Amino acid sequence: MALHLQAKPVAAVLRAQLEKRTQQLQEAGILPRLAVLLVGDNPASIAYARAKERAADRAGISFRLHAFSAQATEAEILERLDALNRDPAVHGILVEWPLPKRFDSARILEGIAPHKDVDGIHPVNRGRLFSGQEAFVPATALACIALLQHYQIPISGRHAVVVGRGPTVGRPLLALLLKENATVTVCHSRSGALARYTRKAELLFAATGHRHLIGAEMVAPGAVVIDAGLSEAPDGTLAGDVDFASVEPIAGAITPVPGGVGALTTLLLLQNVIDAAEATLRDQTS
């Protein structure tokens, strides 16, 4: 039976660390603050924003929601981002996606100051990550590594296969795995027969959003399987990229969905906010 890489014990450790670091910042006169911009009334986006607010409150981080109607203009959003960039009391900024289709998403993204881009998706942070410099990293990619590290699963020297090359998981995960000295293969929609690659993986990461893409025939016995995908089944239940029921008897370790990677993402986003606040403190005392 595979080891289940549950997020709950990892989250408990992370939460305690965040609360301690937040307390230290407050003692130094800094209250970490996250600003979230929400455009329109998409129910999922509203739910995600509220979940971040609850987690921030629990960690002692100030949360400010900047809500705009669906009729808001791109200029209004950019103006608010500029104000938040210049506000020294704001340490992290993120935009809830998706934005209305009429918006130039790239322009909005680049309107966030890189040192406040706690989502880790600004081109400057992406470039820093791939050049080996300090950078904010998307929380889902961080969660994949955090689970392996917590359960003391070696990364260095092992063959990792990442299925998916998206900007928030697959690509940053590639950089993180290389940093940890893994040998990495990245698969995508043009890779053809995925099984010829995935069956060679010692560490297999799935990050496509395609329900049950990875089945038992695609996994090598004893492989560690990290499911970073999430989609909604017809009955409303959540499912991952991995067919857990068929893969679990074969894998050496596996993450559940829900209760795995996704359960850590908000905490790791808040970790980025605290990193940004600590950088402000260092600037003040240097």
109, 143: one domain = no
| Per-residue confidence (pLDDT) for residue 268, from 0 to 100 | 98
143 and 230 inside one domain:
yes
Residues 152 and 246 in one domain: yes
Give the pLDDT score at 180.
Answer: 97
Instruction: Write down the pLDDT at residue 249.
Output: 97
Residue 249 domain-assigned (yes or no): yes
167/77 same-domain check: no
**What pLDDT is stored for residue 283 in this prediction?**
83
Are residue 109 and residue 166 in the same domain, yes or no?
A: no
Are residues 257 and 160 part of one domain?
yes
pLDDT of residue 228: 97
Note down the domain range covering 151: 139-263
DSSP β-ladder status, 238-239 and 203-206: unpaired
What CATH number corresponds to the domain at position 83?
3.40.50.10860
Whether residue 93 sits in one domain with residue 206: no
The pLDDT value recorded for residue 20 is 96
Q: Is 84 helix (H, G, I), strand (E, B) or coil?
A: helix
Residues 162 and 251 in one domain: yes
- Predicted pLDDT at 50: 95
Which residue pairs, CB below 8 angstroms and at least 24 apart, start in 236-241? 239/211, 239/212, 240/206, 240/211, 240/212, 241/163, 241/164, 241/206, 241/207, 241/208, 241/209, 241/210, 241/211, 241/212, 241/213, 241/214
If asked whether residues 162 and 238 sit together in one domain, one would say: yes
User: Does residue 6 sit in helix, strand or coil?
Assistant: coil
Structure tokens at 102: 């009429």
Residues of the chain scoring pLDDT < 50: none
**Phi and psi of 224, rounded to 5°?**
-90, 125
CATH number at residue 252: 3.40.50.720
Residue 234: per-residue pLDDT: 78
Is 79 found in the same domain as 148? no
Q: 90 and 183 share a domain?
A: no
